[in-house]
Structure 1
Amino acid sequence: MDIQNLVGMANRIGQFFESFSDRDEALAGIGNHIHKFWEPRMRREFLSHVDAGTAEGLRPIVADAVKAHRSQFA
């Protein structure tokens, strides 16, 4: 799986949720979306990449969603 593609997908999800006025709702929405629509292998690879500290280009809202709702990503 191409990690840059996963980062790009996560950023597009984050871009959609950035328009929400309630930041907590936006963070939860990102977590829910990735949990529902990404297969477990995609989520594991994405988390591994983020955990390695190499998620350059990741939107801050996506990084915050990973921190706040990590259990949904695993």
Structure 2
Amino acid sequence: MLNQIAANVAHHPHERAVAEITAHLRSFWAPSMRADLVTYVDGGGSDLTPLAAAAAEQFRLREVKP
């Protein structure tokens, strides 16, 4: 699903696209889905496109407190 969201905003400059994706995750994904995404990214997130991976990593860094 994250790859599809990324594809929909890929026409924007990279930083704007990443910001839009992360905003979408915070606004529309249930907490359980966001937690699953963080777990997936922590495990390598191998099926993510480069844009989706960048957004997921930024999201993970902001969501997970050390």
TM-score interval for Structure 1 and Structure 2 normalised by the shorter chain: 0.7 to 0.9
Q: For residues 37 and 57 of structure 2, what CA distance do their matches in structure 1 show?
A: 13
Return the match for 2:51 from 45, 61, 73: 61
Return the match for 2:32 from 13, 37, 41: 41
Q: Describe the superposition over 1:8-41 as per-residue Cα deviations: whole angstroms up to 9, x where unpaired.
A: x100000011111x21110000000011000000
1:31 matched to 2:22? The reply is yes
Task: Tell me the TM-score normalized by structure 1.
Answer: 0.75
User: How many aligned residue pairs are there?
Assistant: 63
The residue number in structure 2 matching 1:4 is none
Please tell me the residue identity of whatever aligns with 2:51: I
Percent identity over the alignment is 32
Task: Tell me the TM-score normalized by structure 2.
Answer: 0.83
